């Protein structure tokens, strides 16, 4: 189980400082949650992730079910022992894959549209590669095409075998181009699944319910009221957030007031650097995002000077660290010229050094914002 306590409330916004205690230690919130999809932050060891000051990670239930299979994690003594991570850890439910392998793949869209779209998913429309039923979802494995089924009961059973501190209820993550009626029908299903998840849970792991409803204010409010009334240990805010950044902050504004104040709230899959202050000011306690690690693997470093594309040849003559103000091991030991050489030579060490830096940078940025809250500046 977990214990959560708000220790400070901002007078300027809805931001708050808290302590989230889990069986594997406690974290200070708000906190960035690093993504360890397959029980690993890509290219890094657990010890290196710790050196980047990560307090907590989130792994992917769907992918761990595919490989190696939750039975192997259970035999290993749980995911913490399996990956040598002794700090708090979450597992998502597999609900995001309902979208990413379904309409997300069909239409080539993410949770926030990068540009306006004429696409519309109407009630009754079905994705090509997943079959969504009242009981759960039939997937085609991206590994070998094998047909598999995950519903609320199955998701909880898998997550219990994986053994994370915090689990999430199974849901349908809707597309940003889903219309009102599709989203409403999907929401009703998610609510039914939430109740089944609670009834299916057999361990003392914490379980978060997930608020859905897309970009529609009344559906988000309805979902927050319903999910917030159920005996979950915390809450996740999932789904899509329209085609404009402000839609996300608007959505948080009419969702969070209906969730129990005394319980932790997690924002699923959102965390671009420019989003983080608004996320924290809204009152979010934890949030996960692949941005720092994904961008690192594409040669982009986040620095106090802004983003740097380290694949550019101009950095081959640059003897400065990635960021003079950064305390990460990469910046303390290596220069831009060397990192650019490694990236151009397709050496895995280049990706490792970039990932260590970006993860450290994000964690340091969130720590700075936490201090700003304590100082009354956020």
Q: Please enumerate in sequence order all residues whose Cβ is within 8 A of that of 260, keeping only pairs 6 or more positions apart, or say none.
A: 228, 235
Q: Please enumerate in sequence order all residues whose Cβ is within 8 A of that of 154, keeping only pairs 6 or more positions apart, or say none.
A: 136, 170
92 is known as an active-site residue? yes
SS3 318: coil
Q: Count Cβ atoms below 10 Å from residue 345 Cβ, excluding itself.
A: 9
Cβ atoms of 156 and 197 within 8 Å: the answer is yes
Dump the DSSP string for 136-202: -EEEE-TTT--EEEE-HHHHHHHHHHHT-SEEE----PPPTTB-HHHHHHHHHHHHHHHHHHHHH--
- Smallest CA-to-CA distance from 40 within 90, 93, 83 is with 83
288 is known as an active-site residue? yes
- Smallest CA-to-CA distance from 289 within 229, 358, 351 is with 358
SS3 8: strand
- Measured at the alpha carbon of residue 55, what is the angle toward residues 28 and 330, in degrees to the nearest 5? 125
Rounded to a whole number of angstroms, the distance between the first and last alpha carbons of the chain is 31
Dump the DSSP string for 37-61: TTSS-TT--HHHHHHTT---EEE-H
**The one catalytic residue among 171, 275, 288, 323:** 288
Structure tokens at 355: 């990932």
**The one catalytic residue among 92, 165, 275, 323:** 92
Residues annotated as catalytic are 92, 288
């Amino acid at each position: 189980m977990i214990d959560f306590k708000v220790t400070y409330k901002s007078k300027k916004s809805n931001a708050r400082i808290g302590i989230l205690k889990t069986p594997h230690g406690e974290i200070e919130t708000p906190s960035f949650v690093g993504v360890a999809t397959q029980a690993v932050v890509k290219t890094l060891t657990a010890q290196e992730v710790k050196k980047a000051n990560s307090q907590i990670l989130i792994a992917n239930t769907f992918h761990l079910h595919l490989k190696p299979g939750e039975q192997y994690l259970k035999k290993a003594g749980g995911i913490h022992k399996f990956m040598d991570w002794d700090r708090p850890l979450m597992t998502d439910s597999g609900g995001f894959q309902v979208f990413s392998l379904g309409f997300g793949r069909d239409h080539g869209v993410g949770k926030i549209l990068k540009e306006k779209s004429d696409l519309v998913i109407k009630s009754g429309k079905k994705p090509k590669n997943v079959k969504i039923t009242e009981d759960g979802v039939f997937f085609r494995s991206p590994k070998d095409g094998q047909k598999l089924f995950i519903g609320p009961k199955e998701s909880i059973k898998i997550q219990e075998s994986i053994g994370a501190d915090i689990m999430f209820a199974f849901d349908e993550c809707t597309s940003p181009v889903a219309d009102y009626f599709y989203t409403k029908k999907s929401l009703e299903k998610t609510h039914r699944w939430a109740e089944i998840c609670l009834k299916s849970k057999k361990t003392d792991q914490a379980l978060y319910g997930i608020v859905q409803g897309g970009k529609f204010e009344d559906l988000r409010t309805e979902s927050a009221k319903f999910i917030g009334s159920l005996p979950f240990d915390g809450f996740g805010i999932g789904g899509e957030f329209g085609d404009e950044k402000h839609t996300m902050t608007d959505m948080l504004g009419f969702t969070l007031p209906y969730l129990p104040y005394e319980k932790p709230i997690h924002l699923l899959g959102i965390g671009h650097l420019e989003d983080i202050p608004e996320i924290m000011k809204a009152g979010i306690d934890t949030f996960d995002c692949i941005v720092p690690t994904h961008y690192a693997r594409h040669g982009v470093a986040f620095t106090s000077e802004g983003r740097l594309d380290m694949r550019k040849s101009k950095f081959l003559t640059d003897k400065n660290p990635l960021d003079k103000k950064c305390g990460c091991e990469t910046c303390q030991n290596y220069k831009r010229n060397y990192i650019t050489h490694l990236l151009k030579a397709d050496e895995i060490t280049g990706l490792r050094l970039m990932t260590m830096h970006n993860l450290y940078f994000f964690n340091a940025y969130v720590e700075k914002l936490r201090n700003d809250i304590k100082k009354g500046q956020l």
